[in-house]
Amino acid sequence: MCQLYSKRDTLALRGKHIGPSCKVFFAADPMKIVRAQGQYVFDEQGEHYLDCINNVAHVGHCHPEVVRAALRQMEVLNTNSRFLHDNIVEYAKRLSATLPEKLSVCYFTNSGSEANDLALRLARQFKGHQDVITLEHAYHGHLSSLIEISPYKFRKGKDVKKEFVHVAPVPDTYRGKYREDHPDPASVYAEEVKKIIEEAHKGGRKIAAFIAESMQSCGGQIIPPAGYFQKVAEYVHGAGGVFIADEVQVGFGRVGKHFWSFQMYGEDFVPDIVTMGKPMGNGHPMACVVTTKEIAEAFSSSGMEYFNTFGGNPVSCAVGLAVLDIIENEGLQGNATKVGNYLTELLNKQKAKHPLIGDIRGVGLFIGIDLVKDRQQRTPATAEAQHIIYKMKEKRVLLSADGPHRNVLKIKPPMCFTEEDAEFMVDQLDGILTVLEEALGGKTASVISENTPCKTEVPREAQLELPSGGTADSRESSSKKRNAACADKHSLLSKRLKT
């Protein structure tokens, strides 16, 4: 494949011309990706990597039908939504059909951040209230209005919490305030929201919205306990606020049984506003806010027009329609359930074998592996997690670590992920954990050291000192043997590429 620059020159140019806060993945050893297909990405040397984290390439990287849909529409017309066009109405009709009946009015945007920003405007216009309740560790986007309600970001920077923002405890029953041994975690976590509302009212403040991801992703793959959202919605509605479900990461069938993650909690829970993005256009910038007629009418009653130059353009909608067709035609929701269950089963076997694994949680193809230094205290194994993702990259598997302690391995692959991919991923992880745990002598000590067991350069936080002097690599022969199978890229790829 023809490239403009060598990897080194690309890196140098990036250093010179791209803002330093735009971080690269695997900063200590960045990857140059030149093409992708299905659940694989290929670097500049032609090496393929199994992509376990890209929930944007939802139906598979560069799916030919998505590409064709974009191309066909680009050849004919692309313009803004001020003209009548069938694509936007057809897409809105198809999208609404996936949602509960009352969610029927769409606003198209170009990113999840734009969608959440608009959702806040809708919520604030609805009753004229201003305050927002958000969850600890939440991330809802990069616009100023969203950094303000994203503790994942504002707690890391110098920003202080704004007075109109209220942060509720994350309903995490593994490491949170109330855990799995509590008889009713849903109620006690929801009570925390109720207390926040009461406190706000005492201070003369009024709640416009409660916003949460249906499952928290950046916050560490957290699944709220059943019944929590229903109770929160009741308290928020009682205060005149609306419930915004952020489905930017977890929507479009990723959880398998349901098209939207919020639907997992039961038919008696329906948000007032749903925001979506990432997988919607399979990589094409496309996002949306869907709400009720009542909220939409309140928004237009202000008299202010809403116009978005690119949102809902004919090309984006053609792409979106192709994505919906593929999810259906290729049975990707069923695949998410089948492969997700199988992967969870394999991972639970790993949990029984490896003390570093504290918790496996997830639904469909949205799974988290919570790594701990000790299972009793649940102390996050941050350095170990960083070490593992770099080692997995050496084994040609892309994973990332997130959560407030960056110790949760996130798995959210393209939906064409197969059982074979799951086995391959878990085999590599098993090999790495075995070597790491042996090297740490079961102590899982994490002392920053120059003596890195990785072949690649790793960030300081990922450097582990191995107590017994041997390098992790010297004990990896079995894992290397397994990996040798990877050498025959073509046979492996032809078996695994599904889309």
Ligand X SMILES: Cc1ncc(COP(=O)(O)O)c(C=O)c1O
Residues in contact with ligand X by the rule CB under 6 A: 111-113, 116, 139-142, 213, 217-218, 246, 248-249, 277
CB 48, min distance to ligand X, A: 25
CB 142, min distance to ligand X, A: 6
CB 143, min distance to ligand X, A: 8
Rounded CA separation 5/240 (Å)? 56
Q: How far apart are the first and last CA of the chain?
A: 22
Q: Are 416 and 39 in contact (CB under 8 A)?
A: yes
Tokens of 491: 């046979």
Q: Is 282 left (phi over 0), alpha (psi -120 to 50) or beta?
A: left
Rounded CA separation 135/397 (Å)? 31
Nearer to ligand X, 147 or 439 (CB): 147
Rounded CA separation 313/279 (Å)? 17
Nearer to ligand X, 139 or 424 (CB): 139
Q: Are 117 and 145 in contact (CB under 8 A)?
A: yes
CB 159, min distance to ligand X, A: 17
> What is the radius of gyration, based on Cα positions, of the chain?
23
CB 150, min distance to ligand X, A: 9
Query: Residue holding tokens 């992880």?
Result: 429
Nearer to ligand X, 51 or 213 (CB): 213
CB 311, min distance to ligand X, A: 13
CB 275, min distance to ligand X, A: 7
Q: Are 106 and 96 in contact (CB under 8 A)?
A: yes
Q: Cβ-count burial of 34 within 10 angstroms (0-12 exposed, 13-18 middle, 19+ buried)?
A: middle
Rounded CA separation 414/498 (Å)? 11
Q: What sign does the CA torsion over 446, 451, 455, 457 have?
A: positive
CB 277, min distance to ligand X, A: 5
Nearer to ligand X, 172 or 476 (CB): 172
Nearer to ligand X, 247 or 359 (CB): 247
CB 98, min distance to ligand X, A: 19
Pairing of strands 105-109, 287-291: antiparallel
Query: Residue holding tokens 């992708």?
Result: 36
Q: Are 224 and 186 in contact (CB under 8 A)?
A: yes
Which CA distances in Å does 349 have to 86, 92, 177, 423, 445? 50, 43, 28, 12, 23
Q: Are 176 and 220 in contact (CB under 8 A)?
A: no
Rounded CA separation 146/153 (Å)? 9
Nearer to ligand X, 250 or 433 (CB): 250
Nearer to ligand X, 249 or 344 (CB): 249
Nearer to ligand X, 136 or 213 (CB): 213
Of 450, 486, 475, which Cα lies nearest the Cα of 465?
450
Residue, CB closest to ligand X: 112
Rounded CA separation 100/236 (Å)? 20
CB 113, min distance to ligand X, A: 3
Rounded CA separation 490/343 (Å)? 24
Which CA distances in Å does 421 have to 52, 327, 341, 345? 9, 19, 13, 14
Pairing of strands 131-135, 165-168: parallel
Q: Are 245 and 277 in contact (CB under 8 A)?
A: no
Nearer to ligand X, 117 or 476 (CB): 117
CB 249, min distance to ligand X, A: 5
Nearer to ligand X, 140 or 391 (CB): 140
Nearer to ligand X, 61 or 496 (CB): 61
CB 110, min distance to ligand X, A: 8
Nearer to ligand X, 316 or 434 (CB): 316
